[in-house]
Amino acid sequence: MVQKKKSQSHDPYAPVAKNQLLAARLPMWRSKFIVLLVFGAFASLAGRAFWVQVANQDFYVDQGQKRYQRTIELDATRGRIVDRNGSMLAVSLATYEIWASPKLLDEAAFAPLSKLLDLPLAELRRRLNGDKTFVLLKRQVDADTADHLNKLGLAGITQIADSKRFYPEGESAAHVVGFTDIEDNGQEGVELAANEQLLGVPGQREVIRDRLGRVVSETRPLVPAQNGDTIHLTIDRRIQQLAYAQLKDAIAKHHAEAGSVVVLDARNGEILALANYPSFDPNDRARLTGRQLRNRAVVDTFEPGSTIKPVVVALSIDEGKVRPQSIIDTAPGWYKIGPAVIHDTSNHGAMTVAEAVQKSSNIALAKLALNLPAEKIWNKYQEYGLGLRPELTFPGVASGKVRPYKRWRPIEQATMAYGYGLSTSLLQIAQVYTAYAGDGTLHPVSLLRKEGNTDRDADGNAAANDAAQATGKGHAVTTPATARAIRSMLEMATGQGGTGRAAAVEGYRIGGKTGTARKQVGATYAKNRYRALFVGMAPMSDPRLIVAVMIDDPAGKAFYGGTVAGPVFGAVTGGALQLLGVPPDA
């Protein structure tokens, strides 16, 4: 008989209960430490969240926005500069600024980008290797290049609208218009003088960009830019081109150092042309020099020579000292004042006051000056604006110099009557002659016109605004009768027996005064260096134009004002009168 074994009960947890590791009791401090660590971690997270979300929220919001939101300044378009008839003298052309986000720009894009922007690869890498998030690569990129760049679809490249100044008249009007720098701020000429009006007010655009730098939305309404004003000049670009071309040819012909031409509207003193040579191209200033940059007609001063003689003649007539037909004895061709001796080009003998102007007698003018109080001469020069800065909105306008009369010696009082011992600019001399072109009223020169004021009416007819233009402010410096007498003398000076015959204009009666002034070198006058001058007006029946010409240091055989500057006057005056539609009066 088989005996059954006694069954034993099976406990599934028995091996676990016998596990020595579980059977051991852990110290309480370890569990508390773990709990404390967990609590500390959560407390740190809560503190950090408080610091980011509450205590320093503005900072982190601002940092976040910088990653995707940008404020783009919208540049105002610089105002245009136009001539009296609305023709463009300076205008802004659309260009672009190319910016890059270095972290988003792929290395493979460097080569095509370098070629398209005409930027050396090494320079491109230098600009992109830095900590900046937004880098300017190039400015004033033309529209075609910007379009090609856009077609490449490069990530991290942004184009911002910009502009570049363009000057259609180039060299001819460079000294009048001036130019701007790369920031579009005026540096010379009208660009500098009227910079505030031309600049305008920039606008703003706040945008959100994606990770590739592309604009996806705007965060607030656009603030549009206010474009600059249009500046209307008194300049006539046709006359400006004519004056510059004739001046350039004359300087080349006579191998002169430099020269200037000023053309004024005789009725109101408006500047129709102001040309200088040498000049420069404001569209390409890579090799610009100070010699080219000087606006000689406005900033250079010199002794005006015989062109100033009508002032003392007019004063002598007004004071009742002489009449146009009064006789002055200039024999024997020289005149001694103290130890000094004054000479004429030849012995003219006894001559009338009118003939003294016609033949440009220094002795006659010296005698007229010494017959007047020095104070009266000085005051009259002041009335004509000599020694005073012209009322012109233009940088660097020179005032010239007339020494106080109390310091004049007799010889100085005499020489000032025929243009030595004082200094003026060519613009000032031209302004003096406005007094003789009309009724004795001196018209201050001007360069800026009111917007919309042109020489044509709504139907396009010339000279519709004659009455409006003839209202230029001025003051009387001589009587109408004396002004007419001076005009007659000036006409004699350009006729038979006068010094200005070479200035003749076919079909028109002209009048003017020559000047040949020795150049001062150091403390003495050079023997063979001169300034040739001619200032005149036309047509004499009703003067419309005043033209002043200065040729500096002609090196050819001819150096007299009549033979060097006179022909320039004739060519400019004749062409300008035809352009303005002034009928012949000869």
Q: Which residues 6+ apart lie within 8 Å of 381 measured at CB?
A: 311, 387, 402, 416, 422
User: Hey, what are 266's tokens?
Assistant: 């005789």
Whole-angstrom Cα distance, residue 560 to residue 350?
A: 24
Backbone phi, then psi, for 481, in 5-degree steps? -65, -40
**Distances from the Cα of 531 to the Cαs of 11, 311, 410, 571, in angstroms?**
132, 20, 25, 19
Which of these, 326, 294, 263, 251, lies nearest to 556 by C-alpha position?
251
User: Hey, what are 98's tokens?
Assistant: 């190319």
- At which residue do the structure tokens 């002043």 appear? 548
- Residues 565/533, Cβ–Cβ less than 8 Å: yes
Cα dihedral 448, 452, 453, 457 in deg (nearest 10): 160
3-class DSSP state of 19: coil
Given the residues 279, 306, 316, 361, select the one marked as catalytic: 306
**Distances from the Cα of 327 to the Cαs of 293, 353, 513, 560, in angstroms?**
48, 6, 20, 27
Q: Which residues 6+ apart lie within 8 Å of 274 measured at CB?
A: 175, 176, 235, 240, 243, 260, 261, 262, 263, 295, 297, 298, 427, 447
Backbone phi, then psi, for 175, in 5-degree steps? -75, -25
- Residues 60/49, Cβ–Cβ less than 8 Å: no
Residue 173 has what DSSP assignment? Answer: G
Which of these, 100, 104, 132, 103, lies nearest to 114 by C-alpha position?
100
Helix (H) or strand (E) holding 57: helix 57-68
Whole-angstrom Cα distance, residue 555 to residue 302?
A: 18
3-class DSSP state of 166: strand
Whole-angstrom Cα distance, residue 299 to residue 296?
A: 5
- At which residue do the structure tokens 């701007």 appear? 180
Which of these, 321, 544, 487, 339, lies nearest to 417 by C-alpha position?
321
- Using left for φ > 0, alpha for ψ between -120 and 50, and beta otherwise, residue 323 falls in beta
Radius of gyration of the chain (CA): 40
The DSSP annotation for 230-241 comes to: PEEES--HHHHH
Look up 279 and say whether it is catalytic. no
Which of these, 404, 406, 330, lies nearest to 368 by C-alpha position?
330
Which of these, 445, 442, 432, 402, lies nearest to 513 by C-alpha position?
432
**Distances from the Cα of 310 to the Cαs of 179, 360, 384, 484, 489, in angstroms?**
38, 10, 11, 12, 9
| Beta bridge mates, 533 | 515, 550
Q: Which residues 6+ apart lie within 8 Å of 15 measured at CB?
A: none
Catalytic residues: 306
